[in-house]
Structure 1
Amino acid sequence: MPELRLLVGERIRVIRKAKGLTQLQLAELSNLDDAYIGAVERGERNFTIDTLEKIHTALQVDVTHLFRNDDVKSKDEIARQQATDEFIAVISNLKSEQIEIVKRINKELVQAFSHPL
């Protein structure tokens, strides 16, 4: 099985789960069959660019997120990227004013962690 197809399929799965979506929900959002989504996530389907665009649009993420390779990263880097995926999922449906509030809270948290207890 081609490595890139496996990588993209796994990234779709990770992002879908971070957003709290089932395969069925992603299928509905992307106008694809849920069995097809499962096959894409397992790297079993040689999907088209058009299909990838439907999935990327349904997930509401930058397309570059679908091509990131976590295999060459440390545990800390992978944890950071997973947290980033979850953060993006949380804010994806917020209004700009709400996003600004989340950003301020995030800054406060970062400052709190920079000062030892």
Structure 2
Amino acid sequence: MTELRNTVGDRIRAIRKAKELTQQQLAEISNLDDAYIGAVERGERNFSIDTLEKIVVALKIQPMELFQSINDLNEVEVAQRGAIDEYTVTVSELNVKQIGTLKKIVREVREAFED
């Protein structure tokens, strides 16, 4: 079971960093201790579903986002996952009009790379 715990911990760390949060800030938002957050991220703690829910709510993510391992990914796929995490964070903080604008920008950038 350690592999799954490590995968979840790695994803919590990656998403927290993509949101530019410190362990202390995540701890405060989730009503957990910062040392506990660190232990969860390192896969050292066998945490409960209730604790996982607090972290998911604090990070404003879907639980399934924590179960996607990067261990079997190549360098490009790891970079893609990091970009997706950052994009997800950005989109989660925008309103509908801003999301539409961002989508247009992404389309234009994608088209620029196709030339």
Match of 1:43 in 2: 43
Letter paired with 1:31: N
What is the number of residues matched between the two proteins? Answer: 115
User: 1:71 aligns to what SS in structure 2?
Assistant: coil
Distance 1:72 1:10 in 2: 13
Structure 1 consecutive aligned stretches of length 4 or more whose deviation exceeds 4 Å: none
Residue in structure 2 matched with residue 96 of structure 1 by the alignment: 96
Which SS does the other structure have where 1:46 is aligned? Answer: coil
User: 2:65 is matched with which residue?
Assistant: 65
Provide Cα deviations, 1:2-25, integer angstroms capped at 9, x if missing partner. 111111001100100011000011
* Percent of aligned pairs sharing the same letter: 56
Comparing 69-78 with 51-60, greater Cα deviation is found at 69-78
CA RMSD of aligned residues (A): 1.1
Alignment of 1:26-41 (within 5 A): 26-41=26-41
* CA distance, structure 2, for counterparts of residue 40 and residue 48 of structure 1: 11
The residue number in structure 2 matching 1:16 is 16
Match of 1:114 in 2: 114
**Structure 2 length as normaliser, TM-score?**
0.95
TM-score normalized by the length of structure 1: 0.93
Deviation at 1:98, TM superposition (A): 0.7
Contiguous gaps of at least 5 residues in structure 2:
none
Runs of at least 5 residues in structure 1 that lack an aligned partner in the other structure: none
TM-fit CA distance, 1:72: 1.2
